[in-house]
Every structure is written in structure tokens, then in C-alpha cells.
Amino acid sequence: MGTYNPASYRGGILRLHYARATELEPWLDLVAVRGEVVQFWLKPGDAAVTLGKGEEREVERIPAQLRRFL
């Protein structure tokens, strides 16, 4: 009989499977280098959520005050 394992840490990777906040206490001292956690709480009748490519837009990274120094 298999047991429910909400979080496992192997090889430097923390894998979550329906983990609750209280079940993550053993890993609270870890620092995430990269990763993503997605959680959706839907009410009965809510439309399904889909993930897709986000809207791309150009962002000015150099403030106008500094551009004249380039």
C-alpha cells in the first residue's frame, strides 16, 4: 500500500504534490534558486484555468534621466 507523500526532496529538487503549508515545515530553511508554484482555488461553476504564454511587451530598462549618458 502506497503512502501519501506531499513533499519530497531529492537531488536538490523539492517536489510538491498537493502539499499543505504545515507539511512544508521541514523545508522552510531552503532558498529557492528557481521554480514555480501554481495553485488555483476554484468554486463550483468557475471556468477552468489554463496556463499559456503571457502577453509580451517592451519595457524600458534605462530610466529617461540616465539615457543621455549613453
Write down the mean pLDDT value for the chain.
Answer: 77
Among 41, 29, 49, residue whose Cα is nearest residue 14: 29
The β-bridge partners of 13 are 10
**Measured between alpha carbons, how far is 7 from 14 in angstroms, rounded to an integer?**
7
The β-bridge partners of 16 are 7
pLDDT 10s digits, 50-69? 766 666 667 777 778 888 88
Query: Is residue 67 situated within a structural domain?
Result: no
Q: What is the pLDDT of residue 11?
A: 83
Domain count, the chain: 1
**Host domain of residue 1:** 1-53
Q: What is the pLDDT of residue 56?
A: 67
Query: Is residue 68 situated within a structural domain?
Result: no
Phi, psi of 22 (to 5 degrees): -65, -25
8 has a pLDDT exceeding 80: yes
Query: Is residue 69 situated within a structural domain?
Result: no
Query: Is residue 7 situated within a structural domain?
Result: yes
Element (DSSP H or E) covering residue 13: strand 13-16
Q: What is the pLDDT of residue 54?
A: 66
